[in-house]
Amino acid sequence: MEILKSFRFRLEPTMGQSQCLTRYRGCARLVWNKALALQKGRLEAGSPLLSYEELTRLLTRWRHSEDYGFLAQAPIHPLQWTLKFLDRAIRAAFDKSNPARLPTFKKKNRDEAGLRFADPKPIKHDLSTKDADGRCVLPKVFLPKIGWVKFRKSRPIDGTIRNATVTWQAGHWYISFQRENDVPEPVHPSDSIVGVDRGIVHFAALSDGTFVDAPGWFRRHEKKLAWEIRKLSRKKRFWRNWQKQDARIERLHAHIANARRDFLHKTSTAISKTHAMVFVEDLPIQNMSRSAKGTRENPGKKVRAKSGLNKAILDQGWSMFQKFLEYKLHWSRGWLGTVPTP
């Protein structure tokens, strides 16, 4: 049985390597925005969308042009995968069965995607923790046009590497290795069946009588976050002190997201190891968390109460929890079923 696993570690690049990664991330953002503007222009004109192959040919022209020749300094695979992600996002927006939102332009230091190194051949590892003199050193990974970069290996790495993705979050660089493992066909240790009802007061209520309380990650830091945002509003926009305060808010958001992800991983792992079949409600989370503000002609009712409910729903991470359950049960040869809501 072949399974895909992701291993995420924190990178420790030098100053020069960090500058290169920042420059390459800016190139990927430029390619995304330029291609998206081109596709939106074709939609407004009623012309058919360009395919991924046509976009990559345009990327080759941009890399050889006088205005955008600096794109040739960046690795080619992250730029190509930026176009591939954009193509998938646009196609998903026109999927009638489950339409998503049309992708938006990316802003600097905000919602930039990672750098995907899809070719595993040039990616090398040096997992030794001691140098020739016996001193402790960090493991290293070789990335195209960047070189050997140190990273903090917090757990063992197994399997064959498929790709690597470098991302930036809250002042630090991270790398995720996607690796393929060939494992024996597993047999689930349990034969029990359980239903999971996701809620607000209790994060999950299991049909066997077990309750999992919701820690309330955002609620726990809401006052501190509001205070930090208030401090940001008093500073001159884009000046040095404003940037420092903005970085504090970004780190706080990352802390909340990491705590939520850690809880969801632990809870989904415990359920997937204990029960072979799990049933959850097929909840329309996007509709449930929709604003009740209404329009000027038809204003909504109980807007503040609905806003608080929406905040609580989104703080639970129901969708992420269901995804974690699905692939963890698949690894252990369990099964996740969805029950339609009335």
297, pLDDT greater than 80: no
Pairing of strands 211-213, 124-126: unpaired
254, pLDDT greater than 80: yes
Same domain, 141 and 277: no
DSSP assignment string, 90-132: HHHHT-SSS--PPP-PPPTTTSPPPEEE--STT-EEE--SB-T
Same domain, 46 and 93: yes
Same domain, 64 and 211: no
Last residue of a domain, one of 185, 203, 230: 185
Q: What confidence tens digit (pLDDT) does each residue in 149-167 have?
A: 999 999 999 889 999 999 9
Residues 193 and 275 sit within 8 Å (Cβ to Cβ)? yes
Same domain, 252 and 314: yes
Same domain, 181 and 228: no
Same domain, 2 and 59: yes
Measure the CA–CA gap between 129 and 142, rounded to whole angstroms. 16
Tokens of 30: 């430029």
Same domain, 70 and 170: yes
Same domain, 160 and 181: yes
Same domain, 200 and 251: yes
pLDDT band at 112 (very low <50, low <70, confident <90, very high): low
Last residue of a domain, one of 135, 158, 185: 185
Pairing of strands 335-340, 277-282: parallel
- The parent domain of residue 312 ranges over 193-340
Same domain, 232 and 115: no
**Positive or negative CA dihedral for 102, 108, 111, 117?**
positive
pLDDT in the model for residue 294: 77
Last residue of a domain, one of 185, 205, 238: 185
Q: What confidence tens digit (pLDDT) does each residue in 51-71 have?
A: 999 999 999 999 999 999 999
Q: How many domains does the chain have?
A: 2
Same domain, 150 and 10: yes
Q: What confidence tens digit (pLDDT) does each residue in 75-88 have?
A: 999 999 999 999 99
Quick one: average pLDDT of 213-237?
Answer: 93
Same domain, 47 and 107: yes
